[in-house]
Structure 1
């Protein structure tokens, strides 16, 4: 059906076929867990199924563990996820990116495995749907700092996509440079934040600087950044 605004209803196009599902990265869900050493997210939106769909989990956690903690055993929709990269301190705060090819289903669960989780663990998750790109990263980078911004460089092939995520402690959002924000939310009663971003590049990029900056500047905080690029299929 042609609508008055010129669009088509029911996700259809002329001829009755499905609406196009182009290559790209989109935000589909986010959430948080509090005081849970075995964090689990149930019934999250995965977006439309597709043979080349990759689910990307941008995950942050903080725990009361006195030693170093680490992500392990993350699953997305029952599929064992691959760790793409992780920004980890010697303490108990980590930011990670995990990926899994999940071609079927429009929703599912995500289990985040954390070693040395300690008695209480707060986590946050930004879930992205990636289509038309390899599940294996072309390049990765990560880092952490205390301050009001963090930058890391990365290469990206022509037609590829750059995906980034950042954890911050503090009560303001994030402003990105050279990627476009997809999700930005505060959790743990507004004491921490998680943001994700992505951008497709038509031409190859070498040493491109990706920056996440605390909105409005202000006092220094801890920032944990992960960034990866993926080649087109």
Structure 2
């Protein structure tokens, strides 16, 4: 898949660096102020292809179970269409169920309850934390990765959407379900919204998304020292 707006997907080695960085390790950085969304947002972006604002707006009511398949129900606006995205097994293995229980017990409604908004949007806070700003280093730089490569192409949190797109494109084509990719990304085809496909098919399209780190654990994140 081509890069969009001068932005590209992460390489496999870059994904390895991101998902083996200090957030997913055993030790905090000095003066780090960890938030739950620091752990979950990159994972959710990679396994759902959703934008930061979409993820920031997710509520517990947007987590649905239909015919034994759990989904995130994204209600969006503008050019991106509403859609139901099956939850990848790697998110459950990372501790999503226990985290959801924490959110409920804490009396919060939003899944990423500690991600603050700015002027009603979440993407700006995410951008600064992930990519940095001015002399302030972001998670990207702290993992030893540049914002711009030698070809002048940028990487950012939305690059994870491109990684998701690359992988579901292949699986959708192999299954003979090309419209599934557009649906899962919230895109139109020929100017019209793509009708929702069977959740079992959508799950099969998402299942091959590669697990970068089998040892990622929210409990481990909480217990870092």
Normalised by the shorter chain, which TM-score bucket?
Answer: under 0.3
TM superposition score normalised by structure 2: 0.24
Q: Which has the bigger relative contact order, CA under 8 A and spacing at least 6?
A: 2
Computing the radius of gyration from Cα coordinates, the structure with the larger value is 1
Specify which structure has the higher proportion of strand: 1
